[in-house]
Amino acid sequence: MPEITYREALNQALAEEMERDESVFLLGEEVAEYDGAYKVSKGLLERFGPRRVVDTPISELGFAGLGVGAAMTGLRPIVEFMTFNFSILALDQVINSAAKMYYMTGGQIPIPMVFRGPTGAALQLSAQHSQACETWYVHAPGVKLVTPGTPADAKGLLKASIRDDDPVAFMEGELLYNMKGEVPDPDDGDFVIPLGKAEVKREGADVSLITHGKMVNLALQVAGKLEKEDVDVEVLDLRTLRPLDVDAILASVRKTNRAVYLEEGWPYVGIGSQIVTTIQEEAFDYLDAPVLRVTQADVPMPYAKNLEKLAKPDADRVVAACNRVLYRD
């Protein structure tokens, strides 16, 4: 299987889907002539022309709404946010228009569209550019949320998201774009990963380390570290946060009897809160320890390098949490 970057995987998915379906178009800041702020849309303008690859003014609320309006007529817009931090301006159109339209119309008007871009912190981008935005999107029924952590998942899930008839928030990671991984060759057929299917990225028997998005890679790193101490960590990558693969979570917890949730975002009503709730509701009798979470510190992201490092979840914290649920401390 060829190794390509996460960025290339996304680019392939966009191109393949635009090729496949005339109603798909890409809209966002710097996506066309600049080739994308993170070069995800590189070459698409040349290939598909300015009708289908559209540079917008800096009007997140406006062009998100324009995308929803176009979707109301049956088109399949892909709205790129330069980062999801900027999408906070557009949340009215996401939450009030896109998420609710199908319901408010009694099933008359679906919104088949994708909002995509990077989420979470990169390096020293400080408070306003380092937020993990998953909770804001996953909170509203009507929206689906996809968070690929590897190049293969990025491609397969983006293709599924574009084909989905609901509004899908597709959250990437700035630090992931250069990451390389094996992705099936386009010539070997259509590579689509269905939404709602978690993946065990590493099998293990002692503790379930459950996570999503960029943090999958940290989780695998921690698993490697603990292996040396004879602790067998299972890494479960949720991949899609709505629909949520509850069966996969429960199966893993029933096997290991203990779980840690790892996420980039803030703890308060974060994604982990839901996962912990689900586990205690549905696998209570299988727990040998409370479920713990490792998250970002409950503060805005600081700029100073040392403070930033302190604020982000890191391997040591994850190891410590695993040890605690294993009663190893």
Partner 1 sequence: MATKVHMEALSPTMEEGQIVSWLKSEGDEVSNGDVLAEIETDKATMELVARGEGVLRKILVEEGGTAPVGDVIAVIGDEDEDISDLVDGDEAPDETDEAEESEEDADDEAEAEPEAEEEPEEEDGEKPEEKETEAEEEPEDEDGKEAEEKEPKEEADAAPEKADAPAAGDEERIKASPLARRLAAEEGLELSALEGSGPGGRIVKRDVEKAVEEGVPGEAEAPEVPAFEPAAEEDYEDVPLSQMRKTIAKRLVESIGPVPHFFLTVDVDMTRMVDARARINARLESEGIKVSYNDIILKATAMALKKHPECNAHWGGDHVRRFNRVHLAVAVAIDDGLITPVIRDAHLKGLAHIAQEVRELAGRARDKKLKPDEYTGATFSVSNLGMFGIEEFTAVINPPEAGILAVGGLEERPVVVDGELDIRTRMKLTMSCDHRVIDGAQGSRFLQTLTSILEEPLMALV
Partner 2 sequence: MPKTETQDEKKTDANDGAEKEGGDEGIDRFDREQLHHFMREMLLYRRFEEKAEEAYAIGKIGGFCHLHIGQEAVALGFIGPLQEKDYVITAYRDHTQALAKGLEPGPVMAELFGRDGGVSRGKGGSMHIFGAEQRFMGGHGIVGAQVPLAAGMGWAIKYREEDQVCVCFLGDAAVNQGAFHEAMNMSAVWELPVIYVVENNEYGMGTAIERVSAVSIEERGEGYGVPTHSVNGQDIIETWSFVEDLVKEVRDGAGPQYVEARTYRFKGHSMSDPVSGTYRSKDEVEEKKEKEDPISVLRERLFDAEIMTQDELEALDEEARKVADEAVEFAEDSPFPSEEELYTHVYAELNEHGRLFMDGRDR
129 is catalytic: yes
Judged by CB under 8 A, which of 5, 11, 257, 295 binds partner 1? 257
Residues 240 and 242: their CA atoms lie apart, in Å, by: 6
Complex with partner 1: residue 226 or 283, whichever CB lies closer: 283
- State which of positions 44-83 bind partner 1 (CB under 8 A): none
Q: In whole angstroms, how close is the CB of 91 to partner 2 at the nearest point?
A: 11
Four-residue CA torsion sign, 90, 95, 96, 98: positive
Among 17, 29, 60, 172, the active-site one is 60
Mask 284-303, x = binds partner 1 (CB under 8 A)? xxxxxx--------------
- CA atoms of 148 and 152, how far apart (whole Å): 8
Total Cβ atoms within 10 A of residue 41: 25
Residue closer to partner 1, measured from CB, 39 or 328: 328
> How many whole angstroms separate alpha carbon 294 and alpha carbon 23?
41
Residues at the interface with partner 2 (CB under 8 A): 25, 51, 56-57, 59, 61-75, 77, 92-93, 96-97, 101-112, 141-142, 144, 164-166, 194-198, 240, 242-246, 274, 278, 281
Q: Which stretch binds partner 1 (CB under 8 A): 38-46, 82-90, 264-272, 281-289?
A: 281-289
Closer residue to partner 2 in complex, CB, 103/303: 103
Q: How far is CA 199 from the centre of its chain?
A: 14
Q: Which does 75 bind (CB under 5 to 8 A by kind): partner 2, partner 1, none?
A: partner 2
Q: Is 62 exposed, middle or buried (0-12, 13-18, 19+ CB in 10 A)?
A: middle
Peptide linkage before 148 cis (omega within 30 of 0): no
Which of partner 2, partner 1, none does residue 327 bind to, with CB < 5 to 8 Å depending on kind? partner 1
Is 80 an active-site residue?
A: no
- Burial string for 102-130 (b: 16+ CB within 10 Å, else e) reads beeeeeeebbbbbbbbbbbbeeebeeebb
Q: Could you give the residue numbers annotated as active site? A: 60, 129
